Chain A
Amino acid sequence: MQKYISQQNLNILLDKLIAAGKRVVAPRLNAGTLLYEPLTSSGEWAQQAAPLPRRSGKEAFFPLCEDIMSYEKEGQQVTVTDIDPARFPETVLVGVRPCDAAAVPVLDAVFSWDYKDQFFLERRRKTTIIGLACTSGDDACFCTAVGLAPDETKGSDLFLTPVEGGGYACETFSEKGDALVANHQELFAEPNNSKALPLAAPQIEKFDLKKVKAWLDDHFEDPAWDSIATRCVGCGACAFVCPACHCFDIVDEGTEKSGKRRKNWDACGFWKFTHHASGHNPRDQQPKRYRNRIMHKFKYYDDKFGQTLCTGCGRCIRLCPVGIDIAAIVEDISKK
């Protein structure tokens, strides 16, 4: 379904959704840092700020930290209480950049594979994604290199493209998107002929992902890993800002009397990630840990699910403390 919505009506839509008790999450400035956060009014949507929020949209489904169970002990009586996913709120994720929205269906594969992760899947079921095309970017952006685009609609239920003269061309891509438009049809107009604003134009040439994978298939051991990642300092910044990284750790925290079991983001860059109870660590050096990051994104996930675990958002490039540039690395591999 194709429609048009003015900026004013889009704001009205968000305010109506908030008033109806929906959780509306959009890029919002938190003490100067742009993050996807729940809005209390449409005015908080920081549309003019830098195109990408500092962290990705994945946390709408896969939070940085969440309780998955709690326990209490009184005398000999132990009570364990599960978290009830039915209580997760209905959510509308607005202004999601194409690289963030496209990562969500990629994550569906792993969270609904042999084990159905009810925390992820229930949030996913209850969330409507409103994607927004990018009209600006920087030289860390490389969505086009991994086969996506600044107006990629993958993952979006409703997609907005800014048009000349203001407002957005809208297109729906799912029942959720259709329902959102149908329930607020007074705010949407028929599509007009306004031209879309010029889109961002990432500079990196499209990778030959088949060729990249073919090289990775044969080069688990290769001196290139040392030259790529000897300088990696082993933090989790790249994984934590990534829209597609999804490893987590489960910890029990509390006292003998009461406590919680929590699920936290984890990162393969950490030394502790593969540290065995025996003391042995199969990834005993940083290049082996960084190799896993590239392998997982461009080989293992493809082997398992036929997809690439990278949407070219460029966050890891912008935020790597030591300037490790995944786009440059994959480009080099594709030319080997």
Chain B
Amino acid sequence: MTQPIDTSIYSAVTEAIQAEARRILSEGLVTAIVGYTPARRKGSAQPIVISQAVEAAKLVFSAACVNNLAVYLTKAKKEIPKSGRIGIVVKGCDLKALVGLMGESQLKREDLYLIGVPCVGVLASTIQPDTALTSDTIAPKCGECDAHLPVGCDFVPPQQPFTPELDKKYANEIARLEALTPSERWAYWKEQFSKCIKCYACRQVCPFCFCEQCLCDRNKPQMVETTPRPAGNTAWHIVRAMHLAGRCAGCAECERVCPMDIPLNLLNRKMAKELKELYDYEAGFEVNEKGPLVSYEEKDDQSFIK
């Protein structure tokens, strides 16, 4: 049954973001702010970088503000000026990526001014941007969100987000896949990976894909076939899932942007589930320089050594 989701707080949230952006830019607290602005298509929004107080009026928050803007603060995005303190508009899910980047010494907390968003959810990738937010049109990740109200920001508008209980699509789908036999599961992923066209949108939007040169772009020696064919596609997505294990906090940008509808976040959620079960670890909640896959303790689970 379709449940409506009340997004009425977003207009007050927008006003609060604009006022705070105007203040911190005019007081010189930040050199620039990464946020969202309305775009041409009805109801749509896109990322924007502003550096003048008068531009604060361009900022917006709505259910079409789907991007994880944290990607712009990584060293991979050289085009965004990194001098001085930068303001950034973050949903709870985006904040987890920033926390991870701080843990990996990519960002310093004191270089950021975090404008947190009370978020009831955003639209799924296949939905026209002017569509009302409902249990049917909401992004799947929002059904499993535990961070509607970001914690530890420099500023959060006072509105309280309320999102009804929704289907846990990833948890349900992971349970379905876990119940399959290994060969059935392999057949499922083989079909999914066969759709990949190697546009690398998944990599380019990922806040954790900040390598100076991706292993998969190397040709001396070539590590992964670059052709969009089953062998190279499978290697690419599995290499990426492994590299994100213990790091990905579930912004699901990879899955949102995939032009071929490959359910990439399922791989990342499955890895996160393993990390939780094996090490009682969840990425994105605290700045942690020693995640479970880069440290060793005697009490670590060793049952996988056979």
Please choose the segment from B70-78, B107-115, B164-172 that sits at the chain A interface, where 4 or more of its residues have CB less than 8 A away: B70-78
From B205, B222, B256, name the one whose CB has the most chain A CB atoms within 10 angstroms: B205
Q: List, in ascending order, chain B residues with CB within 8 A of A323's CB.
A: 39, 44-47, 67
Q: List, in ascending order, chain B residues with CB within 8 A of A253's CB.
A: 222, 225-227
Asked if A64 contacts B197 (CB within 8 A), the reply is yes
Q: List, in ascending order, chain B residues with CB within 8 A of A55's CB.
A: 197, 259
Report the minimal beta-carbon distance from A90 to chain B, rounded to whole angstroms: 25
A-B contact count (CB 8 A): 110
CA distance A264 to B232 in the complex (A): 13
Report the minimal beta-carbon distance from B134 to chain A, rounded to whole angstroms: 19
Contacts known (A235-B199, A236-B199); A33 close to B260, Cβ less than 8 A: yes
Q: Chain B residue with minimal CB distance to A254?
A: B225
* Interface membership of A108, Cβ < 8 A: no
Interface residues in B142-174 by Cβ distance below 8 A to A read: none
Q: List, in ascending order, chain B residues with CB within 8 A of A226's CB.
A: 79
Q: Chain A residue with minimal CB distance to B217?
A: A272
* Interface membership of B229, Cβ < 8 A: yes
Please choose the segment from A80-88, A156-164, A190-198, A314-322 that sits at the chain B interface, where 4 or more of its residues have CB less than 8 A away: A314-322
Asked if B41 contacts A140 (CB within 8 A), the reply is yes
Asked if B259 contacts A328 (CB within 8 A), the reply is no
CA distance A270 to B49 in the complex (A): 22
Contacts known (A237-B201, A319-B259); A251 close to B47, Cβ less than 8 A: no
* A260-293 to B contact mask, C-beta < 8 Å, 1/0: 0010110100111000000000000111000000
Asked if B205 contacts A235 (CB within 8 A), the reply is yes
Q: List, in ascending order, chain B residues with CB within 8 A of A270's CB.
A: 200
* Interface membership of B82, Cβ < 8 A: no
Q: Chain B residue with minimal CB distance to A233?
A: B204
* Interface membership of B22, Cβ < 8 A: no
Asked if A65 contacts B227 (CB within 8 A), the reply is yes
Asked if B205 contacts A33 (CB within 8 A), the reply is no
Interface residues in A231-250 by Cβ distance below 8 A to B read: 231, 233-237, 239-241, 249
- Which of under 10, 10 to 19, 20 to 34, or 35 or more describes the interface residues of B? 35 or more
Report the minimal beta-carbon distance from A231 to chain B, rounded to whole angstroms: 5
Asked if A322 contacts B47 (CB within 8 A), the reply is yes
Interface residues in B182-198 by Cβ distance below 8 A to A read: 191, 195, 197-198
Q: Chain B residue with minimal CB distance to A317?
A: B41
Q: List, in ascending order, chain A residues with CB within 8 A of B204's CB.
A: 233-235, 321
* Interface membership of B42, Cβ < 8 A: yes
CA distance A321 to B72 in the complex (A): 13
* Interface membership of A117, Cβ < 8 A: no
* Interface membership of A187, Cβ < 8 A: no
* Interface membership of B203, Cβ < 8 A: yes
Report the minimal beta-carbon distance from B49 to chain A, rounded to whole angstroms: 6
Q: List, in ascending order, chain B residues with CB within 8 A of A267's CB.
A: 199
Asked if B195 contacts A251 (CB within 8 A), the reply is no
* Interface membership of A176, Cβ < 8 A: no
Q: List, in ascending order, chain B residues with CB within 8 A of A32's CB.
A: 261
Asked if A237 contacts B257 (CB within 8 A), the reply is yes
Asked if A138 contacts B228 (CB within 8 A), the reply is no
CA distance A264 to B41 in the complex (A): 32
Asked if A322 contacts B227 (CB within 8 A), the reply is no
Interface residues in B32-49 by Cβ distance below 8 A to A read: 39-42, 44-49
CA distance A33 to B45 in the complex (A): 24
Report the minimal beta-carbon distance from B35 to chain A, rounded to whole angstroms: 11
Report the minimal beta-carbon distance from B303 to chain A, rounded to whole angstroms: 35
CA distance A2 to B132 in the complex (A): 44
Asked if B39 contacts A233 (CB within 8 A), the reply is no
Asked if A33 contacts B79 (CB within 8 A), the reply is no
CA distance A156 to B197 in the complex (A): 27
Interface residues in B257-287 by Cβ distance below 8 A to A read: 257, 259-261
Q: Chain B residue with minimal CB distance to A31?
A: B191
* Interface membership of A258, Cβ < 8 A: no
Q: List, in ascending order, chain A residues with CB within 8 A of B49's CB.
A: 230-231
* Interface membership of B128, Cβ < 8 A: yes
Asked if A262 contacts B78 (CB within 8 A), the reply is no
Report the minimal beta-carbon distance from B76 to chain A, rounded to whole angstroms: 9
Contacts known (A30-B195, A286-B79); A235 close to B40, Cβ less than 8 A: no
* Interface membership of A325, Cβ < 8 A: yes
Q: List, in ascending order, chain A residues with CB within 8 A of B199's CB.
A: 235-237, 239-240, 267
Asked if A321 contacts B67 (CB within 8 A), the reply is yes
CA distance A95 to B128 in the complex (A): 24
CA distance A64 to B228 in the complex (A): 7
* Interface membership of B253, Cβ < 8 A: yes
* Interface membership of B242, Cβ < 8 A: no
* Interface membership of A139, Cβ < 8 A: yes
Q: Chain A residue with minimal CB distance to B42?
A: A139
Asked if A324 contacts B46 (CB within 8 A), the reply is yes
Report the minimal beta-carbon distance from B226 to chain A, rounded to whole angstroms: 6
From B41, B205, B222, name the one whose CB has the most chain A CB atoms within 10 angstroms: B41
Asked if A54 contacts B260 (CB within 8 A), the reply is yes
Report the minimal beta-carbon distance from A54 to chain B, rounded to whole angstroms: 6
CA distance A239 to B201 in the complex (A): 11
CA distance A77 to B21 in the complex (A): 70
* Interface membership of A60, Cβ < 8 A: no
Report the minimal beta-carbon distance from B142 to chain A, rounded to whole angstroms: 18
CA distance A177 to B72 in the complex (A): 51
Top 4 A-B residue pairs of the complex, sorted by shortest distance between their CB atoms: A323-B46, A321-B257, A235-B201, A235-B204
CB<8 Å pairs between A and B, sample of 23 = A30-B195, A31-B195, A64-B228, A65-B227, A138-B128, A140-B41, A230-B80, A235-B201, A235-B204, A235-B205, A236-B199, A236-B200, A236-B201, A249-B226, A264-B198, A267-B199, A271-B217, A319-B257, A321-B205, A322-B47, A322-B67, A325-B41, A328-B39
For the complex with contacts A264-B198, A265-B197, A323-B46, 7 further pairs of A-B residues with Cβ separation under 8 Å are A31-B195, A233-B201, A236-B200, A321-B204, A321-B256, A322-B205, A325-B39
